[in-house]
Amino acid sequence: MNDLAGKHIVLGLTGGIACYKAAELCRSLIKEGATVQVVMTEAAQQFITAVTMQALSGRPVSGSQWDARETNNMAHINLSREADAILIAPCSADFMAKLAQGRADDLLSLLCLARPLEKVPLLLAPAMNREMWVHPATRRNATQLVADGATVLEVGTGDQACGEIGDGRMLEPNELVEDLVAFFQPKLLAGHHVVVTAGPTYEAIDPVRGITNLSSGKMGFAIARAAREAGARVTLVAGPAHLPTPRGVQRIDVKSAADMLAATVTAAADATVFVATAAVADWRAAQSAGQKIKKDGSGRAPTLELVENDDILATIAQSPRARAAELFCVGFAAESEDLLANAQAKRLRKGVPLLVGNIGPATFGRDDNTLLLVRADGVESLSRAPKLDLARKLMAACAQQMSQQP
């Protein structure tokens, strides 16, 4: 996927050791389809060379307002008008103070001040010592910058170049790219709280064996990311899935179906959207053995009594808030045959306004999928695409259907 295709990003570098991350950041932005124009302050050039950034961006680096390459001598105007966004990474404490005061004594601060506010967003990735980050002056400057229309991104926590540990590290390049991609997505779910279940559940038979399935959790994690990109607050209730948590998403790890039900009921108490993507085990052992069940040499398998797990989707969909249309519920059906008929029947049985069907064996573990959106008024097919693309389309479909509810 090229989520930034067609976007032109001005990447500003200010003085700080985090400049070393700018090389990977530049390369990652280009891999996502963006064109990148690097602008460096004089201090930034003490940490990384313009030659490096030119080689990675494929463009000459800008650093001076008096650059003779600009025929009109207006580098600050030209650069800011061409940009779809300006990203300052790293953004030092000094540069934050400069922007908050409206100063413009170098090319980078000048083009930030000259940018059309309504057309060219300004995103800042702070990078500084932990004491500088929590200093009242920096906090005031950050508040002022947000009030002036800039987006001040989070900082990372961990080891710092000075040897101290704490907040103030610049986010990693992959995190910054994910934040920038999210920034450009339509905020169709702003103000909503979306709860997503994802992955399989594991039902213990004994301490070393259990009942589970082949779900990787990739679709649910993609939906959580897409919901966050759409502006929602997102809670992800994840069964055993070895996937990184999407940026800005609260993750609750669970193991069994009972664990998932309890966590989901709590999380959905103030949610407005619930998406039941998890492949929850229908059955569990009536009694889990305290020790490993061993072969006894008879050749006969032990008898395993199964009991049915509570239905998480039905429980949430039949709750008072869902019945009052305060909670929009979306179910998933992972079928192996007769997808349309089974999905339509499941939507009615669960009592949900939207049921998403897919063929489980054809999607488990894959990075792409095909989906069937089943509503009371019709069916919509989403052709094979990366799961994140499908997740974004699903979130848009949810937003549209909720807007049409009485």
Provide the pLDDT confidence category of residue 297 given band limits of 50, 70 and 90.
Answer: confident
Of the residues 91, 162, 329, 398, which is catalytic? Answer: 162
Would you say the CATH fold of 193-403 matches that of 8-184? yes
Mean pLDDT along residues 76-88 = 94
pLDDT tens for each residue of 4-51: 999 999 999 999 999 999 999 999 999 999 999 999 999 999 999 999
pLDDT at residue 1 in the model: 63
Q: What percent of the chain has pLDDT over 90?
A: 81
User: What is the domain partition of the chain in residue ranges?
Assistant: 8-184, 193-403
- 8-184 adopts what CATH topology? Rossmann fold (3.40.50)
Other beta carbons within 10 angstroms of residue 347's beta carbon come to 20
- What is the distance between the alpha carbons of residues 182 and 187, in angstroms, rounded to a whole number? 9
User: Residue 363 pLDDT more than 90?
Assistant: no
pLDDT at residue 161 in the model: 86
Rg for the chain (alpha carbons), in Å? 25
pLDDT at residue 69 in the model: 81
- What is the distance between the alpha carbons of residues 272 and 256, in angstroms, rounded to a whole number? 25
Do residues 174 and 28 touch, judged by C-beta distance below 8 A? yes
Average pLDDT, the chain: 93
Burial label, 275 (beta-carbon count in 10 A; 0-12, 13-18, 19+): buried
3-state secondary structure of 148: coil
User: Residue 120 pLDDT more than 80?
Assistant: yes
Q: What percent of the chain has pLDDT over 70?
A: 99
Which string of DSSP letters, residue by residue, matches 232-292? -EEEEEE-S---PPPTT-EEEE--SHHHHHHHHHHHGGG-SEEEE--B--SEEESS--SSP
pLDDT tens for each residue of 211-261: 998 889 999 999 999 999 999 999 999 999 999 999 999 999 999 999 999
Superfamily of domain 193-403: CoaB-like (3.40.50.10300)
Mean pLDDT along residues 198-203 = 96
User: Residue 57 pLDDT more than 70?
Assistant: yes
- For residue 329, indicate whether it is catalytic: no
- Least confident residue range of 220-229, 334-343, 386-395: 334-343
